[in-house]
Amino acid sequence: MSGLSISRRGLLAGMSAVGASAALSACGAKTGSDTSSDSAAKADTSGSTVKVGLLNSLSGTMAISEVTVHNSLLLAIKEINAAGGVLGKKLKPISQDGASDWPTFAEKAEALITDDKVVATFGCWTSASRKAVKPVFERYKSLLFYPVQYEGLEESPYIFYIGATTNQQIVPALDYLKKQGLTKLYLVGSDYVFPRTANKIIKAYAKAKGMTVVGEDYAPLGSTEFGTIVNKVKDSGADAVFNTLNGDSNVAFFKEYKSSGLTAKSMPVLSVSIAEEEVKSIGTQYLEGQLTAWNYYETTPGAANTKFVKAYQAAYGKGKPTSDPMEAAYISVYLWKEMVEKAGSFDVAKVKTASDGITFEAPEGKVTVDGASQHVYKTARIGKVAADGLIEEVWNSGGPIKPDPYLKGYSWASGLS
């Protein structure tokens, strides 16, 4: 009898809690719509610290990659604070977990802007997560710094793209293959938007520049059966494979590739989604001698990189690799700092105006912000996987390439988009 009354009391308490939280969330929604009708969420810059948002997947399938980006962002913030902060204010990082789930990304982005009143947000990895948060940042007129190479064909006024667009990664990679006399290509990719878009660009390039695409195959994301695809590649008489496979399919593909007797010498594979971290997990024995295309490698020479690698390993453990997206994340905070200081204000519109021409001595070399496209001038680098699992540069574009997300400067690309 007494048990029943307790449970009834518990039920009542639970019901009132539900009522209270419903009231709270209604209230939250109200302030949300207020701020958006106010045309912008006011970032809070009144105190001696300002908040910056970090939006990465700290759990779920993308966590393996995004946690390293998160670490790099925290490292940059720590360094900036140690040097006196931005405009005399210390940065306070607010981390939100996107949980590898795209609607969650949008929800957390909104929370960062409206609840935490951050002055800028850094993060996202997959194009799907970027596309999910894009309308949020545009609605609240708040800034996102995106650190990963992507498929181009996008320019949001409220996103700064710090990773490479196609003309800074895929196009130079094709230039390199052509120069090596590897003109017959076989395209292998995962079956989703990035590989299909990339391959469309590759085919347009090949058609205009006298290269041939002898085959094209897509495997479902996560697929582990590559026997037939590798046989087709082998019989195709291709000079090289252009690999846009993503994630774990790479493991199965390279295992099959090696056991079929194909080697980096007989038919090199150029990959655009395999960085130092992935080399470790796929296994160096399968990748040694294969090619990659990025803007930064752990082995990139220069004092700025030596300092970055040393600082990262001191903070997160000896032997931890640094990769292109991590480097881009690291410099994105510094680039934002330079923009704010040039503008003399945290105000988004002023920061955007100040962005053009901002330069930074990055680990990858000097980078410059292109204010019009809100992308970054970056040097393209082709690397070769070495026996120790690091990637050694074999070619670079000689200097930073102007970002061209819509490939407007390339006549052969006119039929795309």
Decide: is 237 part of the binding site for another protein (CB under 8 A). no
- What is the footprint of another protein within residues 12-71 (CB under 8 A)? 59-61, 63-64
Decide: is 128 part of the binding site for another protein (CB under 8 A). no
Closer of 78 and 234 to another protein (Cβ): 234
Residues 6+ apart with CB under 8 A from 155: 373, 374, 375, 405, 406
Decide: is 385 part of the binding site for another protein (CB under 8 A). no
Tokens of 200: 């469309």
Decide: is 279 part of the binding site for another protein (CB under 8 A). no
- Spell out, one character per residue from 239 to 278, where the chain touches another protein: x when CB under 8 A holds, - when not: ---------x--xx--xx-xxxx-----------------
Q: How far is the CB of 105 from another protein (least distance, A)?
A: 17
- 264/284 Cα distance (integer angstroms): 12
- 2/319 Cα distance (integer angstroms): 61
392 in helix, strand or coil? strand
Applying CB under 8 A, which of residues 79, 107, 175, 191 lies at the interface with another protein?
A: 191
Applying CB under 8 A, which of residues 46, 285, 353, 417 lies at the interface with another protein?
A: 285
- 89/231 Cα distance (integer angstroms): 60
Closer of 59 and 180 to another protein (Cβ): 59
Q: How far is the CB of 229 from another protein (least distance, A)?
A: 7
Residues 6+ apart with CB under 8 A from 318: none
Applying CB under 8 A, which of residues 157, 220, 237, 344 lies at the interface with another protein?
A: 220
Give the number of residues in contact with another protein, rule: CB under 8 A: 34
Q: At residue 274, what is the residue type?
A: I
Residues 6+ apart with CB under 8 A from 205: 171, 174, 211, 412, 413
Closer of 180 and 260 to another protein (Cβ): 260
Q: Which stretch binds another protein (CB under 8 A): 103-111, 228-236, 238-246, 344-352?
A: 228-236
297 in helix, strand or coil? coil
Closer of 41 and 241 to another protein (Cβ): 241
Decide: is 417 part of the binding site for another protein (CB under 8 A). no
Decide: is 282 part of the binding site for another protein (CB under 8 A). yes
Q: What is the 3-state secondary structure (H, E, C) of 154-168?
A: CCCCCEEECCCCHHH
Decide: is 232 part of the binding site for another protein (CB under 8 A). yes
Per residue in 201-239, is it b (16+ CB within 10 Å) or e — as a string?
bbbbbbeeeebebbbbbbbeeebeebeebbebbbebebb
DSSP state of 411: G
Q: Taking the alpha carbons of 281, 294, 324, 64 in that order, is the dihedral positive or negative?
A: negative
Applying CB under 8 A, which residues contact another protein?
59-61, 63-64, 191, 217-220, 222-225, 227-229, 231-232, 234-235, 248, 251-252, 255-256, 258-261, 281-283, 285
